Structure 1
Amino acid sequence: MAQTDYPARPVRIVVPFSAGGSTDQIARSLAEGLSKLWQQPVVIENRDGASGLIGSRVVAESQPDGYTLLFGTQTTQSVLPHIVSQMSYDAERAFVPITELVSIAQVLSVPPSSPFRSLAEFVTYAKGHPGELTFGGGVGATTHMAMELFMSQAGIQLLGIPYKGSALSMNDLLAGRLDSMFDVIMTSLPHIQAGRLRALAVTSAQRQPLLPDVPTVAELGYSGFETNVWFALFAPQNTPTEIVQKIAEDSRKVMTEPARRRIFNESGFQIIASDPATFAERVRLENEKWRQVVKRANIKLE
């Protein structure tokens, strides 16, 4: 099939989460732009369940023709495959990486009643009181994995409190029932600005424009620490290279439109819109990083 022939009919993007969340909203923004560009309907299909594995399997088992795509995340593609004991597909071989669309940093926050006013104070106390300080996050969620990565680098041990969603853990953090939590800037920022949370550090390599006074974890002495939550497009394995390339190129056109870029930046997202080769290497490195974190922390999800 020639690149110019695609798409000749509607394209389906499977979002392996329920409608209304941030993942779904990003996917719908992309679909809207691609629909206009391609003059073909780009339909979002929400297939939630099993932390994203059900929708991912739908795409893994689809025809590799470019008409069924997966809106994957760091969690579905690079974390869950290492913590789920029984998977019906090989996540590292079932998909072709197309493009990393956007990413967003996380911020480590504590309640305003917390005695810790810096990351150094937080770590010093944690080293002297292993297992006493708590953090929130669902097993394998980005909130959980960011803390596991930080604990391994800082040489500390906190008590993880599992939640079914970050909103529930955020409520307890705000109420002072949790000592700390990593969460994306988009969610944490309003509370930080209102004085309901105190930000200690961000997880990106550089400081964030929306939180310019908050240092990065790396600059506070943890060299190389970086973990951004990413959202991306994947196709079933064996999808023709020319189709993968076209989807990546057209997605870049959509995501870099000035109005769309401004909207995402205002929420703390960074537009990436990478090419397939660059993104494939990113996925490889992410898989290796989280595989090591999972093994070290012995994280399992039945």
Structure 2
Amino acid sequence: MILTLTRRALMGTALAFGLAGAAAAQDFPDRAITLVIPFAAGGSTDVVGRIVADRMSQELGQQIVVQNVGGAGGSLGAQQVAKADADGYTILMGTVATHALNPLILKQKPYDPVADFAPVSLLVLVPNVLAVNPALPVNTVQELIDLAKKEPLAYASSGNGTPLHLSGELFKTMAGVDITHIPYKGSGPALTDVLGNQVPVIFDNLPSASSHISSGKLKALGVTTAERAPSFPDVPAIAETLPGYETYSWNALFAPAGTPPEVVETLASAAKTAMADPAVVARMAEFSAEIVASGPEELAEHVKAEMTKWEPVVVEANVSLD
């Protein structure tokens, strides 16, 4: 009899928790949401994240608070979200670094890019750009290659193992040059040093570098996509000098694994509406970010495809990190 009552009590408790969880999902969101940007302020992911967070806040009726958690090529911020409560109130602005490159490069795996996250929406595809301080006496990709063969040069990136780092390594391999890599904790700090001419060359995301290119504080030599970027049609593609060269970045929303499907769908729907807003479309067009605004299933497939695509690049560049 006691055993029967205990079972009934357990069943009742489980049912109560299940109903409470369902009610919480239906009421989502009823408080502020934290969007973790896994890089320092000022970079491409930060720029896109803040634009999206602002518009999604309007759609959801609750503020999305941006939290920058830089370091380890995005792994620290991603790990924080992977370990967060699976209730939708802590989400990640993921990138090719957090969900394709780090899992391939890091010897110690702080999280699983598939098992530890619930995909929400692939937001945008983002071109990268090769740029230099105007004091460097080069105006084209070929002139940079020629200079690098004559004297030592260094390039900055947002961190070890990031797509910008690998964009530089792929460039070095294809151009047959040796340019020293200087990693930073995000595009913001890297840009600061290149603008100050502490480092002459940078591989950066186009969104974070675009205003400096437009103002003349940076000289863009080439975009990393196969075609020229619509927002900077006068800037050649690096592939015009190095045929076959192509890299790009992307931004996507992820929640912790186990987040209720209804919550994921609410977030994905808000993201899709936000990305369709004419003001957001115009902002993204300023730096040639291609809007995707996918659903969760499409993002899951994208992550798998990206890991497959980048694995041979990582192997060729011989990049691994502790």
After TM superposition, the score normalised by the length of structure 2 is 0.76
Q: 1:56 aligned to 2:78?
A: yes
- Equivalenced residue count is 299
Q: 1:214 aligned to 2:219?
A: no
Paired residues of 1:15 and 1:48 also in contact (CA < 8 A):
no
Query: CA 1:89/1:168 → structure 2, altered by over 3 Å: closer, same or farther?
Result: closer
Match of 1:118 in 2: 140
Q: 1:182 aligned to 2:176?
A: no
Q: 1:157 aligned to 2:178?
A: yes
Long gaps (5+) in structure 2? 1-21
Paired residues of 1:47 and 1:54 also in contact (CA < 8 A):
yes
Give the root-mean-square deviation of aligned CA atoms: 3.3
Q: 1:269 aligned to 2:299?
A: no
Offset at residue 69 of structure 1 (A): 2.1
Tell me, what secondary structure is at the counterpart of 1:88? coil
Indicate which of 99, 106, 110 corresponds to 1:77: 99
After superposition, residues 24-63 of structure 1 pair within 5 angstroms as: 24-63=46-85
Match of 1:143 in 2: 164
Long gaps (5+) in structure 1? none
- C-alpha deviations, 1:172-222, integer Å up to 9, x for none? 544555453212223433443444443221012332233111111234442
Paired residues of 1:202 and 1:214 also in contact (CA < 8 A):
yes
Q: Write the letter of the residue equivalent to 2:95.
A: T
Query: CA 1:216/1:254 → structure 2, altered by over 3 Å: closer, same or farther?
Result: same
Tell me, what secondary structure is at the counterpart of 2:305? helix
Query: Hey, what's the Cα distance between the residues in 1 that align with 2:217 and 2:80?
Result: 41
Offset at residue 255 of structure 1 (A): 1.7
Query: Hey, what's the Cα distance between the residues in 2 that align with 1:259 and 1:11?
Result: 23
Indicate which of 8, 31, 34 corresponds to 1:13: 34
After superposition, residues 188-203 of structure 1 pair within 5 angstroms as: 188-203=209-224
Q: Write the letter of the residue equivalent to 1:280.
A: A
Hey, which of these two has a bigger chunk of helix by percent?
2
Tell me, what secondary structure is at the counterpart of 1:226? coil
Paired residues of 2:71 and 2:186 also in contact (CA < 8 A):
no
Offset at residue 254 of structure 1 (A): 1.1
Q: 1:258 aligned to 2:288?
A: no
Q: Write the letter of the residue equivalent to 1:277.
A: E
Tell me, what secondary structure is at the counterpart of 1:66? coil
Which of structures 1 and 2 has the bigger CA Rg? 2
Match of 1:133 in 2: 153
Paired residues of 2:70 and 2:186 also in contact (CA < 8 A):
no
Paired-residue identity, %:
37
Tell me, what secondary structure is at the counterpart of 2:272? helix
Paired residues of 2:133 and 2:194 also in contact (CA < 8 A):
yes
After TM superposition, the score normalised by the length of structure 1 is 0.80
Match of 2:113 in 1: 91
